[in-house]
Chains A and B, each alone.
Chain A
Amino acid sequence: MADQRQPTVIADNANIVYRIYGSVAPGANSPLASLKRIMTGKKSAAVREVHAVKGVSFVAYKGEAIGLIGTNGSGKSTLLRAIAGLLPVERGGGIYAAGQPSLLGVNAALMNDLSGERNVELGCLAMGMSPAEVKEQAPGIIEFSGINDRGDFSSLPMKTYSSGMAARLRFSIAAAKKHDVLLIDEALATGDAKFRKRSEQRVRDLRKEAGTVFLVSHSEQSIRDTCERSIWLESGVIRADGPTDAVLKEYETYVNK
């Protein structure tokens, strides 16, 4: 593969730190301790830092689909959010991307009190579509999500949906737009086998449209089916980066140890 490949996402020594307020050991937040802290001007002990991603570097190219694997809490979703520009990267490193990467996660909350139809409209507008585009795309999105297979559910509030239905609708909304870089967080894991097949096909189509896809999933099958390259993150550090088969083999031996 010595042809000219166009990089779409580059991470150069990316560090991501969460700062969490108000979660401290019992006693450290008592009125007396707080007063003492204010009087002495010491930095609040109520702020705890979690170093979620540590010095990660990689290059992703156009047309690639990359699987991100790792145990729970290894920093996969955090890394995706940083690629999307939703979480800031610490000084001294950076993440660069072509265009605006879009994150598509199962916990991408829309408004639960509103009907599916109106959530489609809102979601599309939030992705930067024009009202005319929304009108044109909306029936296709609802059709693709399959929420109307069992009657007219698209006009019911989203809080009445099963979690699988809601996840399918979110995936359909995000997949309606052409993305330079599409970041998928466990979205394919939900939904029934029929929908999974359809969404995997859609991911392949999106890749053909010259984008790059990142997929976070615990389902080895969906990683194997969609990605030829994988990155294994463990405790915020890259343990392996290469062809999916090799990385998954290494990962399996680690997990089953």
Chain B
Amino acid sequence: MAQTAVADSDTGPSLTELARSHGLTKAGRLPRLPEYTRQLWSYRHFIAAFANAKVSASLGSTKLGVVWQLLTPLINAGVYYLIFGVLINTKQNVDNFIAYLCAGVFIFGFTQSVVQAGSQSITANIAMIRALHFPRASLPIAVSLVEVRNMIASMIVLVAIVLLTGEPVTFQWLLLIPALALQTIFNTGLALFVSRLISKVTDIRQLIPYILRIWMYGSAVLYPVTFFAERIDGWQLALVESNPMLIYIELVRHALMENVELATSAPLLWLQAAIWTVLVGFGGYVYFWRGEKGYGRG
């Protein structure tokens, strides 16, 4: 360490060696995964504040404000009631079709809005990324948190619908909480995955509406899950029934409603849901972390 700085001349030790001997760290170095996770944890207050800020910024220009969080799912359910309950008056061989439908719409909507907002979380905040230092994963995680708030509001509406349509309250309702917890982790992983992918390949953003639509049709949202078993079999059916969204929707219907026909047995559904949660949650996180230093490039 007893070394006078001789960096002005070319004859001294190389600048990189000088930097190392003084313990300087390379700008833009990727931290290891545990270190990154620790950093992220120390920014938890920022994540919460950013999520709150996003909600108040988006509702700030409306007169009703937070009431919209409850109104949006109510209107959504109303539209579906009007079309399927009144106009078409379909039952599709399901007792209590309205509750069945709304469970599907709300649970799918939860993931759908996370994907939509997550796809913008890097590109829309590029100025902030270029100006301030924080673990970038804070942004997609904040998006996921915002949608958890919206989801809780829509679950209140859903529970009201389920009760009004005559379902009994049972201990099975408690299963709603682990099901939604698994889906939240799944969604966060998905938001992380999508935000990095779209910051790299912006073209994919054009495809997202179509991907989401075909995903919705494959998730038995608007029709009963038995629809698939009646039409396809073998590997095709296995493929459709391993769809994570179909699994999460099934779990919620199973938790809240009596007499619903499931694609497979409930324990198997729980196992599949857990596998998807770990796979997408962890995979999305690692994928996002590996791109950490490139997000400022834009």
- CB within 8 Å of B: which residues of A? 2, 4-13, 18-19, 21, 57, 59, 61, 81-89, 94-98, 100-103, 105, 107-111, 113-114, 118, 121-123, 125-128, 130-131, 157
Contacts and interface: CB of A to CB of B under 8 A. Distances in A.
Nearest to A241: B8
4 nearest CB pairs, A to B: A108-B131, A96-B19, A109-B127, A12-B15
B147 to A, nearest CB: 18
Given A84-B27, A111-B53, A10 B19 contact: yes
Nearest to A94: B26
Interface in B1-43: 2-5, 7-8, 14-16, 18-20, 22-29, 42-43
Contact of A126 (B3, B134, B293): B134
A2 B4 contact: yes
A102 B131 CA distance: 8
Contacts of A4: 2-5
A81 B282 CA distance: 31
Contacts of B16: 10, 12, 94, 96
22 contacts: A5-B4, A7-B18, A10-B15, A10-B18, A12-B19, A13-B15, A57-B15, A83-B27, A87-B130, A87-B297, A88-B28, A88-B293, A89-B27, A96-B20, A96-B27, A98-B23, A108-B131, A108-B132, A114-B57, A123-B132, A126-B46, A128-B133
Given A82-B27, A126-B128, 12 more contacts: A2-B4, A5-B5, A6-B22, A7-B18, A21-B202, A83-B27, A85-B293, A94-B26, A102-B133, A122-B49, A127-B133, A157-B60
Contacts of B128: 108-110, 126
Contacts of A102: 132-133
Nearest to A125: B46
A87 B296 contact: yes
Contacts of A111: 53, 57
Given A12-B19, A113-B57, A128-B42, A81 B5 contact: no
B294 interface: yes
Given A84-B27, A109-B127, A59 B45 contact: no
B56 interface: yes
B259 interface: no
A86 B297 CA distance: 8
B135 to A, nearest CB: 10
Contacts of B202: 21
A122 B5 CA distance: 40
A86 B22 contact: no
B263 to A, nearest CB: 40
A98 B22 contact: yes
A125 B293 contact: no
B14 A12 contact: yes
Contacts of A12: 14-16, 19
Interface string B197-228: 00000100000000000000000000000000
A7 B133 contact: no
Contacts of A84: 27, 133
Nearest to A9: B24
B50 interface: yes
A2 B14 CA distance: 19
A113 B54 CA distance: 9
Contacts of B56: 113-114, 118
A59 B3 CA distance: 15
A7 B18 CA distance: 8
B129 interface: yes
B124 to A, nearest CB: 11
Given A109-B127, A114-B57, A122-B50, A59 B18 contact: yes
A247 to B, nearest CB: 14
Contact of B132 (A13, A89, A126): A126
A126 B47 CA distance: 9
A82 B133 CA distance: 12
B93 interface: no
Contacts of B53: 111, 114, 118, 122
Interface in B122-181: 127-134
A128 B43 contact: yes
Q: Which of A19, A59, A107, A108 has the most CB of B within 10 A?
A: A59
A57 B10 CA distance: 11
A128 B134 contact: yes
Contacts of B264: none
B126 to A, nearest CB: 9
Contacts of A10: 7, 15-16, 18-19, 24
A9 B15 CA distance: 10
Q: Which of B4, B27, B50 has the most CB of A within 10 A?
A: B27
Given A7-B22, A12-B19, A97-B24, A122 B46 contact: yes
A86 B7 contact: no
